[in-house]
Structure 1
Amino acid sequence: MILERTLAAVFGANCYVLAAGPDRSALVVDPGAGATRGALALLRSNRLTLGAVLLTHAHADHVWDAQRLIDAAHAEGLLSSDDAVTVPVYVPEPDRYRLEDPDATTGIRASGMGFAEMAGSPWLAPTDLRAFPAEGFTRAFEIVPGVGLQAVAAPGHSEGSSMFFLNARLGDNQLLFEAEVLDDPSAIEERDYLVALSGDVIFKGSVGRTDLPGGDQVQMWATLRFLASAIAPETVLLPGHGAVTTMEHEHHGNPYLAEARIRGGDRRA
């Protein structure tokens, strides 16, 4: 399986490219502002075409280049469908409304600038926006051929924040070294890993903020408490910002998970 990452220029948001193998249709996850160039390079270098875009949630720093990437891929002849110029963009239903104006609904400002000013580009709404299918929250949904994802609702950072789990057969993938899953390059064989696209729910040593519009700290504690008990320790977490990690590492090194085990959604806490 192909699993690679590039970074968006604004806030360093992680953008991931997944495909069953070379010469296949690819899924691009969370193309933030400035991610188009790197994502296209990954498509070209792996002989991939763009088949779908997935947004783990709809904050501006994770969605800004979704349509821009599609338009650029179309211009280069890198769309998976020869007879269409649109690519489906999937987002969890509770966050779908944010795609009307993610600058306003995210509420991020820095140095007096809104997100569009920081990005240096206008918002382009996706032409084929779809809610991630409800069936994908109960069983794997094949979002592009050979890439099946099962979603778990994880609200708190935003109403629709979700984590997306997949089985990935990987060898000497750089992201596995970063997560400290691999440490001996001379003895690497491909094997199956449980991988989770964790968006802004869980980071290495931290979690997503809850002070933006739609955030809810108590709901976040409940989400984290559930995830801490439900996710297998060996799961590789691909976060929306920062380094790749594992659930085992976060059990030992993430103080926010420890706090969530105590508070766990109790609004009196």
Structure 2
Amino acid sequence: MLIERTLAAVFGSNCYVLAAEPGGSALVVDPGAGAARGAMALLRSYNLTLGAILLTHGHADHVWDTQRLIDTAVTEGRVTTGLAGAPEDPTRVPVYIPQPDLYRLDDPDGTTGISVDGRTFADLTGTEWLRPADVRPFPQAGFGAAVELVSGVALQAVPAPGHSEGSTVFFFNARLGDNQLLFEAEVLDDPASIPEEDYLVALSGDVIFKGSVGRTDLPGGDQYQMWATLRLLASAVDPATVLLPGHGAATTMAHEHHANPYLAEAKVRGGETGA
């Protein structure tokens, strides 16, 4: 399986490209502002077509280049067609987002509520928001079993509110060898002999980072929900799971158990309510 990453220029959010194999259909995750160029470079490098886009949540720094990526892929003829699940109209690539955050795509700048020295997110990017033409809620079936958004890439979702109402962690199985993200997550440390192995991988969005967690002071955030989410993840997720966060380095659940003070706090306070 292919798992590659590029960075968005604004706020450095991670954008991931997933595909079953070179030459296949790709799922692009969280194309933030400025990520379209890097994502397209990865599509070209592996001769991939764009099959679908997944947004882990609706904040502006994770969604801004969605339609720009689609437009560029269409122009270059890199849109998946002729396969099960592919769009009938090759100019309309499906964009999946958890239902509670779907409303944010009408105005991600306003609903995210980020400003820097009085400048909005749109001001920082120097571009306008382009709402994708084919937005769909992530399939409800995907919260109980893995669903394929593109051929060979099956994900199962776990609601993880707190950073935003719809924040979700997406789990998938991947057979990987010497992927650089595994070194970064400190799963591999001997480059001399690296057999392919099966890994459980999670796209954790802005729920949990290496040594930190997503903020809860933006519109729709909730600290009590975040504690509950983190406590659930701490208790239910296999420590060996590789986490691919929305910002920063890849990590593992085991590392966060030992080195993330916010996760440690949530283990204690995850049962609290705001009442």
* TM-score when normalising by structure 1: 0.99
- Report what 2:244 is aligned to: 238
Unaligned segments of structure 1, at least 5 residues: none
**Alignment partner, residue 235 of structure 2:** 229
- For residues 124-167 of structure 1, the C-alpha deviation after alignment (integer angstroms, 9 at most, x for no partner) is 00100000000000000101000000000000000000000000
Instruction: Determine if the alignment matches structure 1 residue 189 to structure 2 residue 232.
Output: no
Structure 2 residue 52 is the aligned partner of structure 1 residue 46: no
Give, in whole Å, the separation in 2 of the partners of 1:268 and 1:134.
28
Q: Does 1:9 align with 2:15?
A: no
Task: Look up the equivalent residue of 1:79 and give its one-letter code.
Answer: V
Alignment-mate amino acid for residue 154 of structure 2: G
Q: 1:185 to 1:221 in 2, by over 3 A?
A: same
* Post-superposition offset of 1:268: 6.2
Counterpart residue type for residue 55 of structure 2: L
Q: How many equivalent residue pairs? A: 269
* Mapped partners of 1:178, 1:28: distance in 2: 20
Contact residue 111 and residue 219 of structure 2 kept, 8 A:
yes
> What residue is the counterpart of 2:222 in the other structure?
216
> What's 1:136 paired with?
142
Given candidates 150, 155, 166, the residue that maps to 1:149 is 155
Residue in structure 2 matched with residue 165 of structure 1 by the alignment: 171
Matched, 1:204 2:210: yes
Query: Corresponding residue for 2:78?
Result: 78
Deviation, structure 1 residue 267: 2.5
Q: 1:127 to 1:268 in 2, by over 3 A?
A: closer
| One-letter amino acid matched to 2:49 | T
| Cα deviation, residue 265, structure 1 | 3.6
Q: Which secondary structure state, in structure 2, belongs to the residue aligned with residue 258 of structure 1?
A: helix
Percent of paired sites with the same residue: 73
The AA in structure 2 aligned to 1:25 is: S
- Matched with 2:180 is 174
Look up the match of 1:99.
Answer: 105
Corresponding position of 2:121? 115
Matches of 1:239 and 1:109 in 2, distance apart? 22
Cα RMSD (Å) = 1.0
Q: Give SS of 1:103's match.
A: helix
Separation in 2, partners of 1:264, 1:131 = 28
In 1, Cα distance between equivalents of 2:268 and 2:179: 36
Could you tell which deviates more after superposition, 131-140 or 72-81?
72-81
1:64 is matched with 64
- Within the candidate set 239, 259, 270, 1:253 is matched to 259
The gaps in structure 2 that reach 5 residues or longer are 83-88
Indicate if the aligned counterparts of 2:17 and 2:28 stay in contact, CA closer than 8 A.
yes
2:19 alignment counterpart: 19
Query: Quick check: 2:146–2:156 contact (8 Å CA) kept in 1?
Result: yes
1:125 aligns with 2:126: no
Q: TM-score, normalised by structure 2?
A: 0.96
Aligned residue in 2 for 1:32 = 32
Query: Contact 1:219–1:265 at 8 Å: present in 2 too?
Result: no
Deviation at 1:111, TM superposition (A): 1.6
Report the 3-state secondary structure (helix = DSSP H, G, I; strand = E; otherwise coil) of the residue aligned with 2:192.
helix
Kept in 1, the 8 Å contact 2:74–2:90? The answer is no
- Supply the AA of the counterpart residue of 1:130: R
Q: Read off the aligned partner of 2:249 and give its amino acid letter.
A: A
